[in-house]
Amino acid sequence: MSRESPQRSADTTAYIALGSNLGDRERTLRSAIAALRQLGAVDAVSSFYETAPVGLVEQPDFLNAVVALQTALPPQELMAALLRMEQQHGRDRSVSAPKGPRTLDLDLLSYGDVAMETPALTLPHPSLTDRRFVLVPLAEIAPQWRHPVSGKTAAMLLRELSRRDGESDQPLRKSQSSTASS
């Protein structure tokens, strides 16, 4: 990965993963989507998906989604805004267990075609290609999105993950109110 610090004046498409497994998960995700509109234009919102926890499995299931956001914020400022948004929704990273339960988790998956690695931010997200709960909603709203390093589309990455795991491309359950428009 190259180390770059893009300072862009034009809007850039960022893909953001949202997850919640504490409290009113749907309300939390809808609130986060509304808050994202303060950072730019929300171009697309995936369905909401019910997903089992990964890592620390003794916790409630998650509700996950992915949003496409057009923003003029540089990636580091966008990430800082996402972390503030998590805090505003009750998440305290200093006391919560990694991979543990959380009111809101926001991951910056990609920012345009930027590939960067700093102590605070790696783009694209280093676990993106291994997370079905990210790839399914990403492929739903942006099947032709290309990974900035591998050049593979979201749909291709999902197929590869499905072959590795021996699962279908769509093993996630859409939430009862799977329409995420708000």
Specify whether 173 is catalytic: no
Burial 102-130 (b: 16+ CB within 10 A, else e): bbbbbbbbbbbebbbeeeebebbbeebbe
Of 25, 30, 105, 132, the catalytic one is 105
Cα within 13 Å of Cα(90), Cβ side:
13
Query: 131 catalytic, yes or no?
Result: no
Q: What is the DSSP letter of 128?
A: G
- pLDDT band of 35, cuts 50, 70, 90: very high
Which tens digits make up the pLDDT trace of 57-105? 688 999 999 999 999 999 999 999 999 999 998 777 666 666 768 899 9
More confident residue, 76 or 169: 76
Predicted local confidence at residue 124, as pLDDT: 97
Closest CA to 137 of 70, 35, 68, 56: 68
Please provide the DSSP assignment of 147-178 as one string.
-TTT--BHHHHHHHHHHHHT--S--SEEPTT-
The answer to whether 105 is a known catalytic residue is yes
* pLDDT value for 70: 97
Spatial separation of the C-alpha atoms in residues 177 and 175, rounded to whole Å: 5
29-38, 92-101, 114-123: range with lowest mean pLDDT? 92-101
Reply yes or no on whether the pLDDT at 118 is more than 70. yes
The active-site residue, picked from 30, 102, 131, 132, is: 102
| In contact, 157 and 142? CB cutoff 8 Å | no
Residue 162 or 100, more confident: 162
Active site residue 164: no
Q: What pLDDT band is residue 7 in, cutting at 50, 70 and 90?
A: very low
Question: How confident is residue 172, by pLDDT bands cut at 50, 70 and 90?
Answer: low
Domains for the chain: give ranges and CATH numbers. 12-125 (3.30.70.560)
Confidence of residue 178 (pLDDT cuts 50, 70, 90): low
Q: Distance between CA atoms of 107 and 29, rounded to whole angstroms?
A: 13
Catalytic residue among 107, 146, 159, 169: 107
Interstrand relation of 116-117 and 12-20 (parallel, antiparallel or unpaired): unpaired
Predicted structure pTM score? 0.86
The model's pLDDT over 16-30, given as tens digits with 9 standing for 90+, comes to 999 999 999 999 999
> What pLDDT does residue 102 have?
87
Distances (CA, A) of 32 to 3, 38, 158, 168: 29, 10, 25, 29
User: CA 116 to CA 21: how far, in whole Å?
Assistant: 29
Quick check: 164 pLDDT over 70?
A: yes
Q: Which of 25, 30, 91, 132 is catalytic?
A: 91
Q: How many CA atoms lie within 13 A of 35 on its CB side?
A: 20
